[in-house]
Structure 1
Amino acid sequence: MSIGIAQQLGPSEGLGPIGLHVRKIIEERIVTNVFRPGERLSENDLAELLGVSRQPIREALIRLTEAGLVRVMPQRATIVTRISVARVNSARFLRAAVERAVVREAALQAKPHHIAQMRALIREQTTAIREGDHARFLALDDDLHRAFAVSMAHEGVWRTLQNVKLQMDRVRYLSLPDATPASRLIRQHAAIVDAIAARDPDAAEAMMQKHLEELLSSLPRLVARLPEYFDSCDVA
């Protein structure tokens, strides 16, 4: 049953070519594991689901192939890739290097209104977890990390990380609520913001490193619990 592309788009997604909108919808469903690793995707089914022709679906799948989220087998099928542990670890390494630098600068440059916004986002995260809304928690997590970059006038740095962290995001959605306690993440967020407010770049950097290392402990547990979701070539 067609649900129509317009019904899938939020208010900020109404601009740009339809292929971009289609890609964003499919990408989100892969990242959030609505479309699961190893699942076959049909151009016809996706076109019917989203209420578009096959052409924007085909264009979107090409882009998602480049991003490593799907694998196209000519004349056979398009398959959601299994999560590559190696790519997840590479993304975490790169993200940690960039975001450590970001919070160092934020500790020197963030204005009081930036810090107030960060604290407000953490409060919203606490509410989301209290209400059991884990998807909202993760969306707010992205908003908070974007706020770190905005506070030092480099929002483009966060945008640059978006494609890099896609595989990492797939793990993030798998890890809540079981593998990584949200309360721990919120405490870490608060400690980062406290360090920024205290103008302590060393403490902000150290806490960001610790925060992003959570993946190192949760990832092996997820691989053990959901081996079918991960690329067997990466799993010892």
Structure 2
Amino acid sequence: MDIVITERLPYESTREYVYRCLKENIMNLRLFPGSALSEKDISVLLNVSRTPVREAFIQLESEYLLDILPQKGTRVSLLDVENVEESFFLRETVEKEVFYLAVKEFPSDKLFELQSNITLQELCVEEENYLKFFELDEALHRCIFEGCKKGRIWSLIQQISTHYNRVRMLNVAAKHDWPELLSQHKKLVQAIKEKNTSLGTSTVEKHLNKIRIDIKDLLVEFRHYFV
């Protein structure tokens, strides 16, 4: 089982640790959609009892990341296009409005954070580090929400975007147009810096729509990962 095991944090309960470890591996596609999991194997791997593993499984099932099937076992959920589309609808609707706020007024410290993020994204493209690129992509969008004092809304979006984000991770891992993604991110930051509403509006629409276009290729290339 190709799982990356991280150290348990000082404040974490055993259940929280198991949950975080499994979720990180599922979201990063180290545990592929459709992968079989067992309470026994995970408890041995993480050196914990089976009870917190069972509890973590139940929580992950509630987030649509695991399918627990009586008499058949537990598997990482396959990617559901309908679930992805629902998350996309929410994100598209909200993020356009947040970006409209960002190009009107944005704090200088957050703008510096965005510009620093872009520099690191450029390095990731050079080094072909897709995991870090995805993290920075997420951080850039979160920073825009936070700069507009909408950080809690970003957190709510993340809670229902597990399938959407796994598809985005798959897209990045498959190297679907990294330079285009980076270019769009640069234009988003440029629009905020210059308070350029027209550039921001056109770019954010193209950027958010990209996954809707790319998913057609992913459905062909990785059909076995989808429902």
- Residue among 97, 120, 129 paired with 2:93: 97
In the alignment, what sits opposite 2:217? 221
Tell whether the 8 Å contact from 1:101 to 1:205 is kept in structure 2 after alignment: no
Q: Does 1:65 pair with 2:85?
A: no
- Residue among 170, 194, 198 paired with 1:198: 194
Q: CA deviation at 1:179?
A: 5.3
- Residue among 85, 110, 125 paired with 2:81: 85
Q: Which shifted more, 19-28 or 175-184? A: 175-184
CA distance in structure 1 between the partners assigned to 2:11 and 2:104 by the alignment: 36
Letter in 1 for 2:58: I
Q: Which runs of 5+ in 2 are unaligned?
A: none
With the length of structure 1 as denominator, give the TM-score of the two structures. 0.89
Tell whether the 8 Å contact from 1:179 to 1:222 is kept in structure 2 after alignment: no
Deviation per residue, 1:184-223 (Å, 9 max, x gap): 1111011111111122345323321210111111101111
Tell whether the 8 Å contact from 1:180 to 1:214 is kept in structure 2 after alignment: no
In the alignment, what sits opposite 2:103? 107
- Residue among 165, 172, 194 paired with 1:169: 165
Q: CA deviation at 1:159?
A: 1.0
CA distance in structure 1 between the partners assigned to 2:11 and 2:195 by the alignment: 39
Q: CA deviation at 1:27?
A: 1.2
- Residue among 26, 31, 34 paired with 2:30: 34
CA distance in structure 2 between the partners assigned to 1:9 and 1:211 by the alignment: 35
CA distance in structure 2 between the partners assigned to 1:103 and 1:40 by the alignment: 40
In the alignment, what sits opposite 2:117? 121
Partner SS state of residue 79, structure 1: strand
Q: Does 1:149 pair with 2:145?
A: yes
Q: Does 1:47 pair with 2:43?
A: yes
In the alignment, what sits opposite 2:14? 18
Q: CA deviation at 1:107?
A: 1.6
Query: What percent identity do the matched residue pairs reach?
Result: 28
Q: How well do the aligned residues superpose, as a CA RMSD in angstroms? A: 2.0
Partner SS state of residue 176, structure 1: helix
Deviation per residue, 1:128-170 (Å, 9 max, x gap): 1111111000001111111101111221121111122210111
In the alignment, what sits opposite 1:130? 126
Q: Does 1:159 pair with 2:155?
A: yes
Q: Which runs of 5+ in 1 are unaligned?
A: 232-236
Tell whether the 8 Å contact from 2:131 to 2:173 is kept in structure 1 after alignment: no
Q: CA deviation at 1:51?
A: 1.6
Letter in 1 for 2:192: I
Number of residue pairs the alignment of both structures matches: 226
Letter in 1 for 2:79: I
Partner SS state of residue 74, structure 2: strand
Letter in 2 for 1:96: E
Partner SS state of residue 8, structure 1: coil
CA distance in structure 1 between the partners assigned to 2:119 and 2:82 by the alignment: 34
CA distance in structure 2 between the partners assigned to 1:178 and 1:76 by the alignment: 31
With the length of structure 2 as denominator, give the TM-score of the two structures. 0.92
CA distance in structure 1 between the partners assigned to 2:130 and 2:113 by the alignment: 20
Letter in 2 for 1:35: L
Deviation per residue, 1:12-34 (Å, 9 max, x gap): x5434332222121112112221
Partner SS state of residue 75, structure 2: strand
Q: CA deviation at 1:74?
A: 2.1
